[in-house]
Chain A
């Protein structure tokens, strides 16, 4: 009987670049910048890393296929390096590879690194992906973009709960306002200006009902983690050990797009979060989760995700959002670092960037964003579209907690 990942693997070092329009840096420079911080934090020698995982998404426009880019940029000592890609869960997938390798006993110390260089394509938004959806899908898929795909969820959510879509949009606006307030306090964030509800509500329409400020930024960045066993972490002199409590993925199987689905929630997140709480031994997430970094690619995604994580009741996320429940001084702060909203979404890096904030918060190193005595930090990624997606959840916390 599988016992899950809880407390089997410790994070001993993390690094994260400043996210932004890094016009003068390529993926190699970004990876090295994150890695330098990480290896110093871990306090080990680079040659002690026995295996590595690289998360990237758009190989078509960036580092190309294979993990050679990471192996060469970091001059890794001819060890196994594996490139993983699973849409927006790519960073968390890299982390999962490293964590599972350590947990299996196959190696002692492993590296997970994620990177995405998005600002080399010459236009705003994510790279156009009509050549990356598969040969058959290319014959019939709608002419969609990321904001359009998620915008649909707002219409489905409003219809399900009998809400005026403009009332949903007002709650969505507060999701963005809250994240900007947090991002303004973070020197590594891309967008660092607070915004008002009016600014968000009145921003230019991108995909109805999502305005520009309902969409996360697009930026370049890299983040990474070094993991090992709790025993080795102790032997390295680590006192406050942060360990992995849960790692879950759930992927759509066609039910939402082709069978029965209400169009108002993420089926995958609902299942992955439940499995993650079981793995972590969490009974009541609304009470026990101390803080979260969730996939706020668009404000509506974060809003609906609050329900799928079983923290807000169904249909009640707008109320919790408007009540400040997820603000930095609220009961369960969400996006304390500013989220995708302020960091942007260099896809392969995002999952690890979220873990970086949870890790620093748990270690009390989050500066003026510090949350009081957090116990469990949850991260969440959602790749693809509401009706067909990849969801990843990670929970980390103080070892033994």
Chain B
């Protein structure tokens, strides 16, 4: 049996009410008032498609063996690098093996997530691969006061495919290609260029998704009535329901499009919706998943008994619930670099990233790997050639020690107004890990006035710097304080 062996989702902490956008921008383009309800997920200033994919991947693989991965596929239309394997960054952040693994980026289309899933399943079916992770993620930057701003949100999802402990068996797929350009983004452009909504709704989503589902049913000999849940994206909620009605799908069997709670997360969205469906699924349930974009992918799955043994760390539902309202529209526009605000001369420093040092220290920087002294057992970060324990100081007697999934507590901290930050104060401090070791770290997703010494933290992979002059993005791990309430 081949299929899904784990799943996870990630929706960033900030949610912005669509009313906030309307209050700020309806004066400019009143049409946005047509979609006034609900809220959209907004990535923090230090998040991007890669960092959110890593969050979803860790959510998915909690308790799973990351060393067993032999493929990491990344799907996104907002990858930070046009030429540098983005999936390779994610694999390094997962501390996946470097030998015997094939990683790939799936891009340039909103159905990239489902296409990557089909490729992963085919790789496993071929016998060439055993454990392939598909992470889909998009940080959707849109112009101010546009329908795109209203409809889109940021988020990620991850599916692990394999042969053992399958929680949802793969029941075939069908794809069709259609160079239907509802929107596009030319190379070097920051924003999507969108065609008329009425056409996109009626001739795009409204026709192409049903056409692909029909193709799937014909190919597999299954009936739509066999499926307990049908999952396909469509940010026009009316059209989303209209397609179901046209296909004869009872509203109870239609997976919610998440418009009200996070907005359309692009290439991640079919998989994020699918994770929500899996979180509710029972053994024996059949799920149909479709991805839309210049055509359509359709995949069928049947949930097994093993689903009772699996839970993502937080999951889509947990991530959606762990939210904080972002009432400040200007803050959002600064996070997405839509406005120019001064960082001061201090903020101009832009040291080049040494790619030689990054290669040498890749486990440390991307994987947050330190070392554990085999002589005295002390976990330590950063790893230097001699053990940090003054009563040991053994030389070179280390094994790799991963801190990324280790719990810790705050030993000391501050909120720094002098440090250049687009979200001042810059909060950072010293963290003591519960199982040993310490690290001096930036904090993120937190409010200074809620932080206390001794507060538990978890680690999160974040964008550390963006070199605007050279186009490089640097990543490292930050501590996320677990404030109560």
Q: Which residues of A contact B (CB under 8 A)?
A: 121-123, 125, 128, 130-131, 135-136, 138-145, 147-149, 151-156, 158-159, 205-208, 210, 253-255, 257-259, 261, 263, 386-388
- From A139, A158, A208, give the contact of B474 (CB < 8 A): A139
Interface membership of B357, Cβ < 8 A: yes
Q: Which residues of B contact A (CB under 8 A)?
A: 344-346, 349, 351, 353-354, 357-358, 361, 364-365, 378, 380-382, 384, 388-390, 411-421, 425-426, 428-430, 437-442, 448, 453-454, 464, 474, 476
Contact in complex: B474, A128 (CB < 8 Å): no
Complex interface: chain A residues within 8 A of B351 (CB): 130-131, 138
Give min CB distance, B457 to chain A, whole Å.
14
- From B357, B413, B419, give the contact of A145 (CB < 8 A): B419
Greatest chain B CB density within 10 A among A142, A145, A208, A259 is at A142
Contact in complex: A155, B414 (CB < 8 Å): yes
Give the docked Cα–Cα distance between A156 and B384 (Å).
26
Given A130-B351, A135-B354, answer yes or no on A259-B364 (Cβ-Cβ < 8 Å): no
Give the docked Cα–Cα distance between A290 and B139 (Å).
63
Give min CB distance, A125 to chain B, whole Å.
6
Complex interface: chain A residues within 8 A of B358 (CB): 139
Given A122-B345, A128-B349, answer yes or no on A255-B390 (Cβ-Cβ < 8 Å): yes
Give the docked Cα–Cα distance between A69 and B67 (Å).
56
Which 10 A-B pairs rank lowest in CB-CB distance, beginning with the nearest? A148-B416, A156-B412, A159-B453, A151-B414, A142-B428, A152-B412, A207-B416, A123-B345, A263-B412, A208-B415
- From A130, A145, A208, A258, give the contact of B388 (CB < 8 A): A258
Contact in complex: B413, A155 (CB < 8 Å): yes
Contact in complex: B345, A257 (CB < 8 Å): no
- From B421, B426, B440, B454, give the contact of A257 (CB < 8 A): B440
- From A145, A205, A210, A258, give the contact of B382 (CB < 8 A): A258
Give the docked Cα–Cα distance between A142 and B428 (Å).
7
Complex interface: chain B residues within 8 A of A145 (CB): 416, 418-419
Contact in complex: A156, B411 (CB < 8 Å): yes
Complex interface: chain A residues within 8 A of B448 (CB): 208
Number of inter-chain CB pairs below 8 Å: 138
Complex interface: chain A residues within 8 A of B380 (CB): 258-259
Contact in complex: A143, B430 (CB < 8 Å): no
Complex interface: chain A residues within 8 A of B365 (CB): 139-140
Contact in complex: A263, B388 (CB < 8 Å): no
Given A156-B453, A258-B388, A259-B390, answer yes or no on A125-B361 (Cβ-Cβ < 8 Å): no
Given A257-B430, A259-B390, answer yes or no on A152-B354 (Cβ-Cβ < 8 Å): no
Give the docked Cα–Cα distance between A206 and B440 (Å).
20
Contact in complex: A207, B415 (CB < 8 Å): yes
- From B345, B421, B426, B429, give the contact of A121 (CB < 8 A): B345
Greatest chain A CB density within 10 A among B419, B421, B428, B474 is at B419
Give min CB distance, A152 to chain B, whole Å.
4
Contact in complex: A125, B416 (CB < 8 Å): no
Give the docked Cα–Cα distance between A334 and B390 (Å).
33
Contact in complex: A263, B430 (CB < 8 Å): yes
Contact in complex: B438, A207 (CB < 8 Å): no
Residue of A nearest to B437 (CB): A258
Complex interface: chain B residues within 8 A of A210 (CB): 414
Give the docked Cα–Cα distance between A135 and B354 (Å).
7
Contact in complex: B412, A206 (CB < 8 Å): no
Contact in complex: B426, A143 (CB < 8 Å): yes
- From B346, B364, B430, give the contact of A387 (CB < 8 A): B430
- From A128, A141, A153, give the contact of B412 (CB < 8 A): A153
Residue of A nearest to B379 (CB): A258
Chosen A-B contacts, 29 in total, with CB atoms closer than 8 Å, are: A125-B418, A135-B354, A136-B357, A138-B353, A139-B353, A139-B476, A140-B364, A143-B416, A143-B421, A144-B416, A144-B419, A145-B416, A148-B418, A151-B414, A152-B430, A155-B412, A158-B453, A159-B453, A205-B425, A207-B416, A208-B416, A208-B425, A253-B388, A253-B390, A254-B388, A258-B381, A258-B388, A258-B437, A259-B389
Complex interface: chain A residues within 8 A of B413 (CB): 152, 155
Complex interface: chain B residues within 8 A of A205 (CB): 417, 425
Residue of B nearest to A157 (CB): B412
Give min CB distance, A205 to chain B, whole Å.
6
Complex interface: chain A residues within 8 A of B388 (CB): 253-255, 258-259
Complex interface: chain B residues within 8 A of A121 (CB): 345
Q: With A140-B476, A142-B441 given, can you name 12 additional A-B contacts, CB distance below 8 Å?
A: A130-B349, A130-B351, A139-B365, A143-B416, A145-B418, A151-B414, A152-B412, A156-B411, A159-B453, A259-B380, A261-B438, A387-B430
Contact in complex: A207, B476 (CB < 8 Å): no
Complex interface: chain A residues within 8 A of B474 (CB): 139
Residue of B nearest to A208 (CB): B415
Give the docked Cα–Cα distance between A136 and B383 (Å).
12
Give the docked Cα–Cα distance between A386 and B414 (Å).
13
Give the docked Cα–Cα distance between A154 and B438 (Å).
19
Contact in complex: A142, B440 (CB < 8 Å): yes
Give min CB distance, A227 to chain B, whole Å.
34
Complex interface: chain B residues within 8 A of A147 (CB): 416, 418
Residue of B nearest to A151 (CB): B414
Contact in complex: A148, B357 (CB < 8 Å): no
Greatest chain B CB density within 10 A among A139, A205, A208, A253 is at A139
Greatest chain B CB density within 10 A among A153, A154, A387 is at A387
Complex interface: chain B residues within 8 A of A154 (CB): 414
Complex interface: chain A residues within 8 A of B390 (CB): 253, 255, 259
Give min CB distance, A255 to chain B, whole Å.
6
Give the docked Cα–Cα distance between A138 and B351 (Å).
8
Give the docked Cα–Cα distance between A135 and B474 (Å).
13
Give the docked Cα–Cα distance between A80 and B75 (Å).
63
Contact in complex: A152, B346 (CB < 8 Å): no
Residue of B nearest to A158 (CB): B453
Give min CB distance, A138 to chain B, whole Å.
6
Give min CB distance, B470 to chain A, whole Å.
14
Give the docked Cα–Cα distance between A159 and B378 (Å).
25
Give the docked Cα–Cα distance between A244 and B456 (Å).
49
